[in-house]
Amino acid sequence: MNSKKTEWTAKWIRPKEPMGDACPVFSKTWQQEKTPESAVLYLTSLGVYVACINGNRVGDYVLAPGWTVYEKRLQYQEYDVTGLIREGENEIQITLGKGWYASPMPGWVEKEKQRKKERKTGILGELILSADGASNGRVIATDQTWKVSQGPVRFSEIYDGESFDATFVSDKEEEVCEFSWPIETLIPQQGEQIREMERVCAREIIHTPAGEWVVDFGQNITGYVEFTVDAHEGEQIKILHGEILGKDGNFYNENYRSAKAEINYVCREGKQTWHPRLTFFGFRYLKLAEFPEEPKAEQFTAIAVYSDMKRTGFIRTAHEGINQLFSNVLWGQKGNFLDVPTDCPQRDERLGWTGDAQTFTKVASYNFDVERFFRKWLRDLAADQLESGSVPQVVPNFLPDCRESAAWGDAATVCPWQMYMTYGNTSDLAEQFESMKKWVDFITQSTTTKCLWTGGEHFGDWLGLDSPPGSYRGASREDFIATAFYAHSTHLVVKAGRALGRDMSGYEELFQEIRKAFQKEYPEYLTQTEHVIAVWFELTEDSQKTADALAEMIVKDGTQIRTGFVGTPYILHVLSNYGHTDLAYTLLLREKYPSWLYPISKGATTIWEHWDGIMADGSLWSSDMNSFNHYSYGSVADWLYEEAAGIKPVEEAPGFAKARITPRPDKRLGWIDVSLSTRHGQIRSAWRYVGDSVRFEITTPVESEIVIGDRRETVMPGTYTYWG
Ligand code: BGC
């Protein structure tokens, strides 16, 4: 990481007179006697910026400076722009959109209330030009000598989209004014940069029964469309975004709720190619509400924009449905890891819901290298944590009233611990340790019953299939879940403290007391989720008995899952760890609703928020809560890594310094081939049925314990084959 720049000669600037919806373009020209030896631009904004020098784009960071708890931590970027500076006159131009900072977020709060807290955007930048032979170099810094004018971006907001007028010519330069914003809050880029990562060509143009032109990309993505059109000056383009087609085959996006997710474009004369630059959308389909000609697929490319994470996990199997499921999990992560782990990328939320991140953190860390991504977000979580230790439901916190919920606030402990397990970085764990403890202390201090977490308002087993009519919260008892997570978080604090060499006897005692109180208060378990977390968090007196009871309950329930956000991530793990691997596979491979594969039978290319977002008869779950890109249930893929292929970290040797490899084959899957790039090299575990026998092939770069059936052995780095 670059060292922090503490001295700034630049001043924060914004337009002196408000410009309404139009995005301001700040500019400065200067004379350069010779080209400099080096030129470095430091830049940040309240809002999102695109910078150009002499008409050339600076860097490839999309939606810079990213999304943090701006009031406390605002990233600036550093660009080497030596190649962009020339002899003679130079010009720097910076276009500024509202971005996350100033868009009316969250979108479901009434516009009136939003207006009251309207936030003004601005920029701060410094271009440092080294000696050019003729001068000693100089600094071009934002200050009141800069000019500002309206640009062709006439409107840009996170939820509502972008309007661009390609015919717009600014006829007026206006004054800027300086304003203050604490320099101490500035930090160098900490997360991964957001980039244009993939391009997806349009698959086909559909002429719907309602007579609409709809572009289908065949994949639900997050980003924006690039289109090319040959048009006359003044012709209009209006594009709407959607994730699915309705039952009737027509365009549908009521599930975006108040987010307009619209592109409005005024053409100039001739052939032109354009895409938005200051916002993003979640979409598979585009409705061309206005378009100057009959559209052709080759005119449209979807550009997937997400944090530049390196892919580390690969899973292939003989089962096409499972392969598609894994692809959906990956696309769910790409689409929702746009600087902050969000619930969804399309409707009027797109927020860093802590509970969603908590459920998905393990699989996220296997699929991609997310160490930097989570490092940044967890620093934001700590920054937004209240003095009391309470963790807001979303980070960065944008909700009108700050409240906490069990299984959501626990992101404070679960995510840092998972990062430590996957990457083994002690300093990141140490950074988060205070925040982890504060969360547990908060529960201890705020609960109404000692050692149980009672009271408070929780989301329960969110979207559990056993939810009582009219509720989203599952049938599991909220105090049960809250106490179980209280115990789990306390346990994680104990483990983290020990890993850091601290005396954890106080928290260890607390964990044991919560466990005892839990057992006394909850002698029986009423739902699938209650069984699952009692076992997985080591709270039940007899784990085997509880896991067996869970298996029985699942069969009684029709051999199907009834769990929501809380129980789903662990249900298959509990089954396979207690002798019910067969049932775990039955649930995994089930194709009828409710199941992970059911959405695939309906054409899903990302993970759905609801098990039945589209019902068997094609009708839709209510539009007020029906995202088709909500990664939480995609956590199931961590079972494929850890149980089906059996690749697991070892607590005493985090970051895969050692590994346990315990593959669990099943004939119905046929074969699996999984590889995981770790800090210590690539681990591969594959098995394949040959008749009734299974051939296992394992490659490990570290000392590993391999368990296959009853055989257990410790091996050194190498490749091993077994028959079972
Ligand atoms: C979000 C969820 C989130 C939940 C909290 C929803 O609106 O989309 O994924 O965790 O609220 O209950």
478 lines ligand 1 (CB under 6 A): no
Q: Pick the last residue of a domain from 190, 212, 238.
A: 190
**Which residue out of 105, 159, 256, 349 has the highest number of ligand 1 atoms within 8 Å of its CB and is therefore the one to mutate?**
349
642 lines ligand 1 (CB under 6 A): no
Protein residue with least CA distance to atom 5, ligand 1: 459
Contact 244/321 with Cβ under 8 angstroms? no
Q: Which atom of ligand 1 sits closest to the CA of residue 630?
A: 9
Question: 139 and 281: one domain?
Answer: no
Instruction: Look at residue 518 and give its three-state secondary structure.
Output: helix
CA angle (691 as vertex; 685, 696 as ends), nearest 5: 15
Question: 518 and 606: one domain?
Answer: yes
Return the CA Rg of the chain.
27
Q: How confident is the model at residue 395 (pLDDT cuts 50, 70, 90)?
A: very high
Question: 170 and 303: one domain?
Answer: no
Protein residue with least CA distance to atom 9, ligand 1: 343
CA 343 to centroid of ligand 1, rounded, Å: 7
In a domain? residue 345: yes
CA distance 658 to 71: 41
Q: What is the pLDDT of residues 498-546, one digit of tens each?
A: 999 999 999 999 999 999 999 999 999 999 999 999 999 999 999 999 9
In a domain? residue 649: no
Burial of 505 per CB tally in 10 Å (0-12, 13-18, 19+):
exposed
pLDDT at 133: 66
Q: What is the pLDDT of residues 196-246, one digit of tens each?
A: 999 999 999 999 999 999 999 999 999 999 999 999 999 999 999 999 999
Burial of 34 per CB tally in 10 Å (0-12, 13-18, 19+):
middle
Instruction: Look at residue 587 and give its three-state secondary structure.
Output: helix
CA 357 to centroid of ligand 1, rounded, Å: 11
In a domain? residue 653: no
Q: How confident is the model at residue 456 (pLDDT cuts 50, 70, 90)?
A: confident
Protein residue with least CA distance to atom 1, ligand 1: 343
Q: Is the pLDDT of residue 389 over 90?
A: yes
CA 565 to centroid of ligand 1, rounded, Å: 10
Q: Is the pLDDT of residue 497 over 70?
A: yes
Q: What is the pLDDT of residues 67-106, one digit of tens each?
A: 999 999 999 999 999 999 999 999 999 999 999 999 998 8
Q: Which atom of ligand 1 sits closest to the CA of residue 565?
A: 10
pLDDT at 171: 81
Catalytically annotated residues:
349, 609
Protein residue with least CA distance to atom 12, ligand 1: 459
Question: 602 and 679: one domain?
Answer: no
pTM: 0.97
In a domain? residue 482: yes
Question: 415 and 359: one domain?
Answer: yes
Question: 478 and 492: one domain?
Answer: yes
353 lines ligand 1 (CB under 6 A): yes
Report how many domains make up the chain: 4
pLDDT at 251: 98
Q: Among residues of the chain, what percentage have pLDDT more than 70? A: 98
Q: What is the pLDDT of residues 647-691, one digit of tens each?
A: 999 999 999 999 999 999 999 999 999 999 999 999 999 999 999
CA angle (223 as vertex; 219, 225 as ends), nearest 5: 80
In a domain? residue 5: no
- Look up the CATH number of the domain holding residue 327: 1.50.10.10
Q: Which atom of ligand 1 sits closest to the CA of residue 353?
A: 10
474 lines ligand 1 (CB under 6 A): no
Range of the domain at 157: 12-190
Longest dimension (CA), the chain: 84
pLDDT at 398: 83
Q: What is the average pLDDT across 29-51?
A: 95
564 lines ligand 1 (CB under 6 A): no
Q: What is the pLDDT of residues 317-376, one digit of tens each?
A: 999 999 999 999 999 999 999 999 999 999 999 999 999 999 999 999 999 999 999 999
Return the beta strands (E) in 280-412 as ranges.
Answer: 281-290, 300-307, 310-311, 313-317, 337-338, 340-341, 368-369
Q: Pick the last residue of a domain from 307, 327, 355.
A: 307
Q: Which helix (H) or strand (E) holds 415?
A: helix 411-423
Q: Which atom of ligand 1 sits closest to the CA of residue 344?
A: 8
Question: 252 and 356: one domain?
Answer: no
461 lines ligand 1 (CB under 6 A): no
In a domain? residue 7: no
- Look up the CATH number of the domain holding residue 63: 2.60.120.260
Question: 435 and 472: one domain?
Answer: yes
343 lines ligand 1 (CB under 6 A): yes
pLDDT at 313: 98
Q: What is the pLDDT of residues 576-603, one digit of tens each?
A: 999 999 999 999 999 999 999 999 999 9
pLDDT at 116: 58
Protein residue with least CA distance to atom 8, ligand 1: 343
Question: 245 and 383: one domain?
Answer: no
- 287: which 2 tokens? 């409705």
CA distance 381 to 223: 25
355 lines ligand 1 (CB under 6 A): yes
Instruction: Look at residue 65 and give its three-state secondary structure.
Output: coil
Q: Among residues of the chain, what percentage have pLDDT more than 90? A: 92
- Look up the CATH number of the domain holding residue 697: 2.60.420.10
Q: What is the average pLDDT across 277-284?
A: 98
CA 513 to centroid of ligand 1, rounded, Å: 31
Question: 181 and 205: one domain?
Answer: no
In a domain? residue 1: no
Q: Pick the last residue of a domain from 249, 274, 307.
A: 307
- 638: which 2 tokens? 């961590």
CA distance 534 to 540: 5
Question: 261 and 363: one domain?
Answer: no
pLDDT at 3: 79
CA 362 to centroid of ligand 1, rounded, Å: 19
Q: What is the average pLDDT across 459-479?
A: 92
Residue 691's CB: how many other CB atoms inside 10 A?
5
Q: Is the pLDDT of residue 1 over 60?
A: no
Q: Is the pLDDT of residue 401 over 70?
A: yes
pLDDT at 454: 93
**Which residue out of 353, 354, 408 has the highest number of ligand 1 atoms within 8 Å of its CB and is therefore the one to mutate?**
353
Q: Is the pLDDT of residue 113 over 80?
A: no
What's the whole-number average pLDDT of the chain? 96
CA distance 580 to 559: 13
In a domain? residue 652: no
Q: Which atom of ligand 1 sits closest to the CA of residue 459?
A: 12
Closest to 625 measured CA to CA, from 603, 609, 649, 644:
609
Question: 329 and 226: one domain?
Answer: no
